[in-house]
């Protein structure tokens, strides 16, 4: 029984729900089967862990059916019945959280019973309650559409009755308007998901009408919900070739002004879109410092609104990206505090290595070069030892220590690794190889002049650690 659906559902209940469900089962309105009550009463004794050999089916069967011989089918049936009761309870609990859905079900009930007076009275109450909702999201437009369509299609709203023509026309206008707004917003909401899925699977999706939808929204942009406005700006930021910093600023400003009006998942997606835009600029060598500042600012927003940790974990790559951006911008104390505060949320298998690598970055920028090299040496996982950021910090640390031999050896190993490594994009690999090339020129006995090196760097639009390399070149004669 330990791996059964029934126990899995029961384990999901809160302490209060454990007690409440017991009352639910004892109500004759919801349940007439005493065996179900006996079964649940016995199982709840093992709350909250529900781990015991006494929960084996044969032992539970004896508690429910006493001295009757064990029958597998009989045991499965009572477990299934209890499971169905629990699912009904869960649905009722969920329904209480969604008054618009409750109103819609009540309207259907009035309609089925031909209670026309109460149907139309209830319809107005439902619409008024919905319009007082604190946010106009996709659900808002969906329920406005459903209410209006119910009103228009109701037998009491007859177009043949001249007195009802205006009422019917109002319902029809609401159907048309709210259906468009629901469709437009939902289409934009899932457009990004479709694009991501196309990249990671072989599935082909058609995404017709997206540009036309965006054009239509832009005609009366301010009249649409905040959610639709946000997804329109996000689409333009990611897909429109003419999108610029003005679009980015508009999206960021609207997002910050609407935090309380959008749900957590939507906020997370929009912040990722902002990071992606700045990251693309930074990788292209456009306003790298300003772009990095924007990325860190958005990361800090994710921390503020608790959008970094999911199921108790932070993705290791995201953790490293945050530290690398922060240290590169000189926010060393903040980066160190971040590491100490959030490293506990990294997957246990990766935690030690990621923490060491991130501290190596902090040590390097604090000019504790030997501590940086020591931290890197304590990394145990081969993949992390070969990580690009690790190799770069190692080379930079030896360079700063003026250890030419070790710097050269690290460059040689890194270059061999890059030639062997598969799966790196040509542009990414080129940027890393350019970094190695510049380092080799800088450690030559007869290094080129400052002017010559600046020309070399100018001819390399794609290169890692450009700002640091410029500092080193600036020290040349």
Query: What is the pLDDT tens value at each position of the chain, 477 positions in all?
Result: 778 999 999 999 999 999 999 999 999 999 999 999 999 999 999 999 999 999 999 999 999 999 899 999 999 999 999 999 999 999 999 999 999 999 999 999 999 999 999 999 999 999 999 999 877 789 999 999 999 999 999 988 865 555 678 888 899 999 999 999 999 999 999 987 887 777 667 777 888 899 999 999 999 999 999 999 999 999 999 888 777 899 999 999 999 999 988 888 889 999 999 998 998 887 666 677 889 999 999 999 999 999 999 889 999 989 999 998 999 899 999 999 999 999 999 999 999 999 999 999 999 999 999 999 999 999 887 665 557 888 899 999 999 999 999 999 999 999 999 988 887 778 888 989 999 999 999 999 888 899 999 999 999 988 888 889 999 999 987
Residues 250, 271: contact at Cβ < 8 Å?
A: no
Residues in the chain: 477
Cβ-proximal residues to 392 (8 Å cutoff; 6+ apart), any chain = 432, 435, 464, 465
How many CB atoms sit inside 10 A of residue 368's CB? 16
> What is the per-residue DSSP string for 141-208?
HHHHHHHHHHHHHSTTS-TTSGGGHHHHHHHHHHHHHHHHHHHHHHHHHHHHHHHHHHHHSS-----T
CA-CA distance, 467 to 469, in Å (whole number)? 5
DSSP 449: P
- Cα-to-chain-centroid distance, residue 467: 31
Residues 231, 223: contact at Cβ < 8 Å?
A: no
CA-CA distance, 41 to 30, in Å (whole number)? 16
Short-list 280, 260, 281, 262, CA closest to 270: 262
pLDDT, tens digit (0-9, with 9 covering 90-100), for 335-356: 999 999 999 999 999 999 999 9
Give residue limits of the domains in the chain: 5-96, 103-188, 386-477
Cα→Cα distances 309→3, 219, 263, 318, Å:
28, 38, 16, 10
Of the chain, the end-to-end C-alpha distance in Å amounts to 78
* pLDDT score for 369: 97
CA-CA distance, 408 to 394, in Å (whole number)? 11
């Amino acid at each position: 029984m330990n791996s059964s659906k029934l126990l899995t559902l029961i384990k999901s209940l809160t302490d209060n729900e454990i007690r409440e469900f017991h009352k639910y089962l004892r109500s004759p309105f919801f349940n007439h089967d005493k065996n179900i009550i006996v079964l649940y009463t016995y199982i709840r004794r093992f709350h909250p862990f529900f781990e015991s050999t006494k929960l084996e089916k044969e032992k539970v069967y004896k508690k429910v059916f006493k001295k009757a011989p064990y029958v597998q089918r009989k045991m499965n049936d009572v477990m299934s019945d209890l499971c169905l009761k629990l699912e009904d309870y869960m649905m009722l609990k969920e329904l209480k959280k969604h008054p618009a859905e409750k109103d819609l079900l009540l309207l259907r009930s009035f309609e089925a019973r031909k209670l026309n007076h109460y149907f139309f009275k209830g319809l107005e109450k439902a619409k008024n309650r919905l319009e007082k909702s604190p946010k106009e999201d996709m659900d808002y437009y969906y329920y406005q559409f459903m209410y209006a369509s119910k009103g228009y299609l109701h037998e009491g709203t007859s177009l043949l009755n001249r007195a009802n023509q205006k009422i019917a026309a109002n319902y029809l206008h609401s159907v048309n308007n709210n259906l468009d707004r629901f469709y437009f917003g939902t289409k934009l909401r899932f457009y990004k998901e479709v694009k991501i899925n196309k990249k990671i699977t072989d599935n082909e999706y058609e995404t017709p009408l997206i540009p036309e939808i965006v054009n239509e929204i832009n005609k009366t942009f301010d009249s649409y919900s905040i959610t639709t406005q946000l997804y329109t700006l996000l689409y333009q930021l990611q897909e429109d070739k003419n999108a610029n910093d003005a679009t980015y600023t508009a999206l960021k400003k609207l997002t910050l002004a609407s935090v309380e009006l959008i749900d957590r998942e939507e906020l997370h997606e929009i912040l990722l879109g902002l990071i992606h835009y700045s990251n693309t600029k930074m990788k292209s060598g456009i306003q790298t410092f300003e772009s990095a500042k924007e990325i860190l600012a958005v990361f800090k927003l994710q921390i503020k609104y608790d959008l970094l940790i999911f199921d108790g974990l932070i993705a290791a790559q995201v953790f490293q990206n945050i530290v690398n951006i922060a240290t590169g911008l000189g926010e060393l104390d903040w980066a160190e505090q971040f590491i100490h505060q959030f490293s506990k949320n990294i997957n246990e298998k990766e935690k030690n290595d990621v923490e060491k690598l991130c501290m190596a970055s902090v040590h390097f920028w604090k000019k504790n070069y030997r501590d940086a090299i020591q931290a890197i040496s304590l990394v145990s996982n081969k993949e992390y030892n070969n990580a690009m950021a690790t190799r770069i910090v190692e080379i930079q640390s030896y360079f700063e220590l003026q250890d030419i031999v070790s710097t050269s050896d690290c460059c040689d190993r890194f270059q061999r690794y890059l030639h062997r490594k598969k799966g790196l994009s040509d542009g990414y690999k080129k940027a890393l190889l350019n970094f190695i090339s510049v380092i080799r020129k800088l450690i030559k006995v007869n290094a080129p002049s400052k002017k010559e090196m600046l020309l070399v760097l100018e001819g390399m639009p794609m290169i890692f650690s450009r700002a640091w390399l410029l500092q080193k070149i600036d020290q040349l004669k």
